[in-house]
């Protein structure tokens, strides 16, 4: 039995999320169906994170256990991609790893990107892949406010009501807000995130960019430990899981794209 680490890219638009569900197609379900077609056996796919409906990935990581001597990493990647067609999912890399590697529990850092396009004209190319905000946003004050959230905090104000995490306390390692023309990019890195944490942070920072809130308002919202104190939840389609990192001792190198 060989454990393989898969690095996966997908467009989350057509899916109910990463996790297999009864109410529609999922990314996990599509991968497992492709593996069934390939091997004739039910093979469980374990992901590093359960992205929501509409959320995309540039570097999701998963692992599978495969007892089939026909496949090394390269052949497995090619074969799974063949059976995934025409789904907007691609295995970017497949590599054999140590048996104790776990895509979720071995991870030491996850990085997310949120994309806003700030312009009056509607989106054509980026529709479904960015949040269209028609009014101009002040990126500098958004970035200043974002720094109030860095570090170890109780993030109850930025946590979805249905979040199942045992504790609202997380360490946010980094948040940055930058702009390239009309595109505003908000990046966040942490070991793990609460449900909707990044989207709730983005919705709050948008209010700062519009001039409705200040950095002090963000600090007050954080201190309130109450979801009602922070800003709205940003749409799912602007969010991307960019990468998942692991310690070298697990036998898996960082998954970067």
pLDDT band at 229 (very low <50, low <70, confident <90, very high): very high
Alpha carbon of 149 to those of 80, 102, 198: distances in Å? Answer: 40, 29, 11
Please state the domain count of the chain: 2
Q: Of 82, 106, 130, which one is at a domain's C-terminal end?
A: 106
The helix (run of H) or strand (run of E) holding residue 106 is none
Segment 41-45 shows an average pLDDT of: 96
Catalytic residue among 52, 138, 154, 173: 52
User: What is the pLDDT, as a whole number, of residue 254?
Assistant: 44
Least confident of 33-37, 49-53, 108-112, 113-117: 49-53
pLDDT band at 249 (very low <50, low <70, confident <90, very high): low
Q: Is residue 249 part of a domain?
A: no
**Nearest to 48, CA basis, from 155, 162, 190, 201:** 190
| 212 lies in the same domain as 134 | yes
**Nearest to 255, CA basis, from 62, 79, 96, 74:** 62
Question: Domain range for residue 97?
Answer: 2-106
User: What is the pLDDT, as a whole number, of residue 256?
Assistant: 39
| 123 lies in the same domain as 92 | no
State the CATH number of the domain containing residue 227.
Answer: 3.30.70.660
Three-state SS at 63 = strand
- What are 71-90's pLDDT values in tens digits? 999 999 999 999 999 999 99
**Nearest to 61, CA basis, from 108, 20, 23:** 108
pLDDT band at 248 (very low <50, low <70, confident <90, very high): confident
Three-state SS at 218 = helix
pLDDT band at 252 (very low <50, low <70, confident <90, very high): very low
| 121 lies in the same domain as 177 | yes
Take residue 139 and report the two structure tokens written for it. Answer: 């990126």
The pTM assigned to this predicted structure is: 0.93
- What are 161-214's pLDDT values in tens digits? 889 899 999 999 999 999 999 999 999 999 999 999 999 999 999 999 999 999
Cβ(64)–Cβ(75) under 8 Å?
no
pLDDT band at 63 (very low <50, low <70, confident <90, very high): very high
User: What is the pLDDT, as a whole number, of residue 70?
Assistant: 87
Distance CA 206, CA 238 (A): 13
**How deeply is 76 buried, as exposed, middle or buried, from its count of CB atoms within 10 A (0-12, 13-18, 19+)?**
buried
Alpha carbon of 183 to those of 16, 104, 115, 189: distances in Å? Answer: 26, 31, 7, 20
Q: Of 91, 106, 121, which one is at a domain's C-terminal end?
A: 106
State the CATH number of the domain containing residue 48.
Answer: 3.30.70.580
Q: Of 78, 106, 134, which one is at a domain's C-terminal end?
A: 106
Is 52 catalytic? The answer is yes
**Nearest to 18, CA basis, from 239, 170, 257, 247:** 239
Distance CA 43, CA 37 (A): 10
User: What is the pLDDT, as a whole number, of residue 239?
Assistant: 98
Contacts of 186 (CB under 8 A, 6+ apart): 113, 114, 115, 116, 142, 146, 175, 176, 177, 198, 201, 202, 205
| 96 lies in the same domain as 189 | no
Alpha carbon of 213 to those of 54, 107, 235: distances in Å? Answer: 28, 35, 19
């Amino acid at each position: 039995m060989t454990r393989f680490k898969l690095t996966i890219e997908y467009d989350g638009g057509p899916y109910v999320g990463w996790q297999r569900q009864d109410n529609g197609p999922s990314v996990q379900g599509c991968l497992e169906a492709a593996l069934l077609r390939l091997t004739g056996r039910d093979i469980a796919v374990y992901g590093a994170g359960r992205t929501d409906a509409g959320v995309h990935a540039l570097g999701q990581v998963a692992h599978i256990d495969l007892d089939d001597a026909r496949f090394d990493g390269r052949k497995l990647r090619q074969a799974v991609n063949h059976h995934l067609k025409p789904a907007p999912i691609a295995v970017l890399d497949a590599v054999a790893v140590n048996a104790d590697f776990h895509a979720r529990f071995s991870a030491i850092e996850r990085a997310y990107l949120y994309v806003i396009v700030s312009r009056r004209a509607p989106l054509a190319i980026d529709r479904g892949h960015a949040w269209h905000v028609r009014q101009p946003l002040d990126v500098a004050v958004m970035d200043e406010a974002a720094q109030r959230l860095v570090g170890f905090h109780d993030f109850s104000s930025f946590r979805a009501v249905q979040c199942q995490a045992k504790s609202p306390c997380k360490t946010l390692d980094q948040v940055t807000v930058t702009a390239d023309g009309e595109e505003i990019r908000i990046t966040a890195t942490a070991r793990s995130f609460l449900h909707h944490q990044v989207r709730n942070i983005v919705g709050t920072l948008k209010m700062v960019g519009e001039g409705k809130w200040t950095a002090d308002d963000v600090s007050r919202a954080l201190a309130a430990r109450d979801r009602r104190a922070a800003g709205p939840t940003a749409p799912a389609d602007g969010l991307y899981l960019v990468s998942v990192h692991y310690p070298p001792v697990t036998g898996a190198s960082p998954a970067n794209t």
